[in-house]
Structures are given as structure tokens and as C-alpha cells.
Amino acid sequence: MTILTGDSVTKLFTDVVKLVKQGQHVSPRGMATREVLDVHLALTRPRARLLLASPARVLNVAFAVAETVWILSGSDDEWIYGFNGQLRKYADDGVLRGAYGPRMRRWGGHVDQLAQVLALLKADPDSRRAVIQLYDPARDSAGHRDVPCTLGFRFHLRRGRLHMSTTMRSQDLWTGMPYDLFFTTTLHELMAGWLGVELGTYRHHVDSLHLYEDDLERAEAVTSVAGSSGELPDLAVPWEGFDALLAAVQGGAVSGHPGWDAMAKVLGSYRLWKAGERATAQHIADRVRGPLGVGLRAWYEELQVRAGSSAAAR
């Protein structure tokens, strides 16, 4: 097992890139890949969840926020494609069959695993049974395009601090890892808030951590990026009314909670950007403080660079 510890996702990401670049050469499904098996990542500040590695790796921050809201609300609705159209190629009949949200909030059509874990830890704080399962052999052997990379989550409440662990069968370092960590650490923070305890260490275990050869050249530039980043605003809110809050954030509505209002502004800004109202979108982005604002503005700069490159190529 390889163990890496960092105080931010940015620090972990840069260290993981250095590790995986030296990985074994494998070619699952004919795709040339560098791979390291059995990697354990520990994040000591889960709220430092946003990768800031511009210009080497620029995230679509709006998609990171949208995917988090989408999963937490238990959704597999198509509105997520408005934030990442690439997801459509993994859909069957327009639906991502491996979507985490329905499995977490409506396993078997009716079991809310999130509510179950919360109730369990309130009743038995020392429990070892606080588990959310995502991978479903009965469903995931059916041959659909989207099969969950994440097997599940575990929570342990010890000495007033909530620790969370994620286990993944597979993790694409370049494309998937930054977005997965954004979501899972948000879930970690929320659960700690619902329990009224401190946020502990987040652990991320990956069986196959890999980097596709097509991404290797771009990944080389990440190693020169500064190794840490700041924490995002507090997202702790009551469990009662949580789903209504998510619906409001999805629609870009202000809730009065600074952390979630910033998330709503990111989503609203990006919708305007895609609608061609770039000046208004940029104005909203300029008003989003902290790492989220930095990341969103970097994404808009990246989109402008890509647009310029496309125009120059024509």
C-alpha cells in the first residue's frame, strides 16, 4: 500500500501525479495507462476540497458544484448535462445508470442510506456499521455504459470527530479524482454537521489509481504547482429541510446560508455563461469569494483560451 497525506486536495493531487507518472504500463480496453495499485490518500483538512492548479489543470468548478448537488439530492435527471455534456456518452437512453444519487438516497427504490447512517450514528456513536453502499452487482453486471467506480463510504465517530473513508475500485486521476473528492468531502462535512461533531480526517482508498497516457504530458506541468489551497466556506446545515435547500441551490436561489449561496451563485453564473451572457456571468463570478470564486474565474479564462485556440485553428 502507498500512503500519501496532505492538508488540501491541491497538495494531494500534485503528489499523486508524481506517484502515478512512475506507475506500471497497462492497457485496459486497449487504452495505454500508467497505474499504481492500492493507494491510500488522507486529507487532513476536508474543506480544502477544491483543486487549484491553474493553468496546468483547470477544473470546471460549476460542474463540481452541480454534480455534488445532483448526487446529494438523489438525482439521475438530465439537468447535469448542462454542466458537463461529456457525460452523455456514458448514458443509456439518456440516463446514467450508475448515478450515485439514487443509489445513496433511494437504494432499491426506497432506502435512504444517508438518513440511515445519520440515525445509526445518533443512536450508537461508536458504531462500525455506518456504511453507504454504491456498487450493486445485480445492476452493474447488466452491461450499461456507466458502472460506479466508487464501491461505498464508511463513517466512524471517535472522540468527537467524524472520520470518513471512501473505497474505489478504479480512479482516473486526471479527469475524475478532483471532482470525486469535491463531492465526498462535502458529504463528510455535512454528516459531521448533522451529528454536531468536529470534522475529522477524510481517507480515500483506490484499488487502481491511474493516468491515461493521453493526459501524461499535461500532468507533467502539475508538479510545479504550489502544493496547498484554502478551505471553502462552512456548509453545515440542519438535516430537516436539506432537500429543499438543495432544490433552491440547483435553481440558483439565495437561501441565506453563505456557503450554499456561493454554490448557487456558481451555478447561476455558469448558466448565464452558457447562454451567452458572458459579462453578467463574469460579474457574478467576481463576487464569489474564496477558492470557489478563484476556481470559477480560472475556468472562464480557460474557456476563453479554448475558444481562441479553436478560432485560430479554423
Residues labelled as active-site residues:
149
| Nearest Cα residue to 155 out of 179, 186, 119, 191 | 191
- Three state DSSP letters for 114-166: HHHHHHHHHHCCCCCCCEEECCCHHHHCCCCCCCCCEEEEEEEEECCEEEEEE
Contacts of 214 (CB under 8 A, 6+ apart): 32
Contacts of 35 (CB under 8 A, 6+ apart): 20, 23, 24, 25, 26, 208, 209, 210, 211
What sign results for the dihedral spanned by CA atoms 292, 298, 301, 303? negative
* SS3 state of residue 211: strand
CA-based R_g, the chain, Å: 19
What single letter denotes the amino acid at residue 197?
A: V
Q: What angle do CA 116, 259, 121 make, to 5 degrees?
A: 20
* Beta-carbon count within 10 A of 212 CB: 16
* SS3 state of residue 245: helix
**Residues 249, 255 contacting (CB under 8 angstroms):** yes
